[in-house]
């Protein structure tokens, strides 16, 4: 997958302390044409308040250029994005101009302990073809094709508060559904209607407790039956509370890790179709070139490249799965992006390396990630900083087996050479990270050799962030042995949506 080209070219300084110091950077080298990764745009609280308008709406994705079969014209598929602008803004629209953003890759809401997050939330999502939706025939779900949505702040320790007569705002209340009146009026359902229905807009007011842990969180829609579709169209973003430096200190003089050496990476994935006929729950339906398959299919791509010439840099080609009773996705593409960018370059310029805070807005994909040294083809060791918004803080007598167990087997823990325990905390290093839907992981990236030692990087050193495979079968093994070392998309046959 998630193929990010990373280029190092630096010389080593003496490393000190838990998070360490690493050498100075000179000009990096990476392939021409690979765009440099940009951090998501940020809306930060001021004087204890972040007050924004957030509009869920369709928009072409400029960073994805899909060329259909027998065509030379690229299509920018239409995803669904959160357009965000500061309030007060008049009405239910954001002004055009630089204060309004609507990135497919996601926006970061930067909050502090004690803040109040105020969001005027607006639904301008398109009406959908009910024949292309799952669950629309389930009891109480006949309105799903009108594309109702809402907002959930995943991981925040905040009450699920409903509106009252005296306070019409909602807290993080996933039972309210917001309909776009342009799509028609929802028909009353006799069952499975769990919360209030509102038209077009709702005001959220979410208070961050003054003792809330610092960490990485995210936001996404939470209307049951259609949250998967909205996620894979692009509706998600990041939330940070406090700073990395609240938990991580970088050196012997114990200064907090600087925000300047922190990256935020949002992993998203989207399936784009070539024109043809696709079987949905309702039966076969025609689809157009560039149409997004938001009723996502884990079998869209073959798990392994068909040959060594199939280079999977930020996408994998649709497969003909009809021989297994599935669909023929030939000509389509499953894009795996970082901050909305396909196969970006990440130049590491900070002398101390960087902390990467990674979130996933995937609908059903589990990302199995390794940072692979391009020279040795070995996975590089990184130091784990936080998991799912919780800082890693283990007593010094914790055995490695316990670490693996506590992390639910999602990491491959490896020795952490050159890293002394600081205080009572044991450093944890890994060289493989599995991110299931909704998970977050934060780790420290610096140049380490094949034995995991922090060493001066060779001139022009680079690594590629890859999605690797875990399935062991004869077919898989043969394919793996013959596969190219290039970055690759491993579209695992992951379980269906697991969004909480």
Residues that bind Cu ion (CB under 5 A): 154, 500
Pick 221 or 317: Cβ nearer Cu ion: 221
How far CA 42 is from CA of 103, 240, 289, 361, in Å, comes to 11, 10, 33, 17
Closest CB 438 distance from Cu ion, rounded Å: 5
Residue with tokens 């926006």: 107
Nearer to Cu ion, 236 or 261 (CB): 236
Element (H, E) at 464: strand 462-467
At closest approach, how far in Å is the CB of 231 from Cu ion?
10
By C-beta, is 153 or 483 nearer to Cu ion? 153
C-beta neighbour count of 478 within 10 angstroms: 11
Nearer to Cu ion, 484 or 500 (CB): 500
- Please identify, using beta-carbon distances, which residue of 74 and 500 lies nearer to Cu ion: 500
CB of 483 to Cu ion, least distance (A): 34
Q: Which residue is nearest to Cu ion (CB)?
A: 154
Residue 226 and residue 104: Cα distance in Å, rounded? 18
Q: How far apart are CB 154 and Cu ion at their closest, in Å?
A: 3
Decide: residue 177, CB within 10 A, 0-12 exposed, 13-18 middle, 19+ buried: buried
**Closest distance to Cu ion from the beta carbon of 499 (Å):** 6
**Does the N-terminal peptide bond of residue 98 adopt cis geometry, omega within 30 degrees of 0?**
no
At its nearest, how many Å lie between Cu ion and the CB of residue 481?
38
> Which residue is it, tokens 């079998």?
299
Of residues 287, 324, 320, 314, the one with CA closest to residue 301: 320
SS3 478: helix
Is the Cβ of residue 226 or residue 287 nearer to Cu ion in the bound state?
A: 226
Q: List, in order, residues 6 or more apart from 299 with CB less than 8 Å away.
A: 319, 321, 324, 326, 327, 493
145 three-state secondary structure: helix
Nearer to Cu ion, 154 or 357 (CB): 154
d(CA 349, CA 346): 9
Distance, in Å, from the CA atom of 130 to the CA atom of 182, rounded to the nearest integer, reads 16
Q: How far is the CB of 346 from Cu ion (least distance, A)?
A: 27
């Amino acid at each position: 997958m998630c193929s990010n080209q990373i280029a190092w070219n630096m010389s080593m300084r003496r490393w000190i302390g838990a998070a360490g110091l690493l050498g100075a950077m000179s000009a990096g080298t990476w392939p021409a044409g690979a765009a440099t990764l940009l951090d998501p745009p940020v809306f930060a609280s001021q004087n204890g308040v972040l007050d924004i308008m957030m509009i869920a709406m369709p928009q072409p994705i400029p960073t994805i250029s899909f060329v259909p079969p027998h065509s030379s014209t690229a299509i920018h598929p239409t995803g669904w994005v959160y357009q965000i602008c500061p309030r007060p803004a008049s009405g239910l629209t954001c002004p055009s101009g630089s204060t309004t953003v609507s990135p497919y890759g996601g926006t970061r809401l930067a909050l502090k302990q004690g803040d109040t997050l105020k969001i005027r939330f607006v639904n301008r999502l398109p009406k959908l073809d009910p024949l292309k939706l799952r669950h629309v025939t389930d009891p109480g779900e006949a309105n799903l094709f009108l594309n109702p949505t809402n907002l959930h702040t995943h991981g925040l320790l905040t009450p699920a508060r409903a509106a009252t007569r005296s306070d019409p705002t909602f807290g993080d209340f996933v039972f309210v559904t917001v309909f776009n009146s342009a799509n028609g009026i929802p028909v009353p359902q006799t069952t499975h209607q769990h919360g209030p229905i509102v038209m077009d807009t709702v005001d959220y007011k979410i208070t961050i407790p003054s003792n809330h842990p610092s960490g990485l969180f995210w936001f996404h829609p939470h209307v049951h039956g259609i949250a998967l579709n909205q996620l894979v169209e692009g509706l998600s973003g990041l939330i940070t509370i406090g700073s990395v430096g609240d938990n991580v200190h970088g050196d012997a003089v114990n200064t907090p890790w600087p925000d300047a050496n922190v990256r935020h990476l949002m992993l998203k994935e989207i399936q784009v179709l070539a024109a043809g006929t696709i079987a949905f729950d309702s039966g076969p339906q025609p689809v157009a070139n560039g149409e997004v398959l938001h009723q996502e299919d884990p079998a869209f791509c073959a798990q392994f490249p068909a040959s060594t010439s199939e280079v999977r840099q930020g996408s994998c080609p649709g497969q003909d799965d009809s021989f297994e009773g599935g669909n023929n996705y030939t000509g389509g593409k499953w894009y795996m992006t970082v901050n909305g960018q396909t196969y970006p370059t990440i130049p590491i310029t900070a002398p101390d390396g960087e902390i990467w805070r990674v979130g996933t807005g995937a609908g059903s994909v589990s990302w199995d990630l390794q940072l692979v040294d391009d020279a040795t083809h070995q996975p590089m060791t990184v130091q784990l900083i936080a998991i799912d918004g919780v800082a890693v803080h283990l007593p010094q007598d914790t055995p490695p087996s316990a670490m693996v167990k506590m992390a639910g087997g999602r990491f491959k823990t490896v020795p952490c050479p050159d890293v002394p325990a600081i205080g009572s905390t044991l450093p944890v290093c890994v060289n493989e990270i599995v991110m299931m839907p909704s998970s977050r992981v934060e780790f420290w990236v610096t140049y380490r050799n094949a034995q995991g030692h922090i060493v001066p990087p060779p001139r022009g050193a680079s690594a590629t962030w890859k999605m690797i495979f875990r399935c062991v079968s004869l077919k898989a093994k043969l394919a793996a042995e013959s596969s190219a070392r290039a970055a690759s998309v491993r579209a695992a046959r992951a379980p269906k949506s697991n969004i909480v």
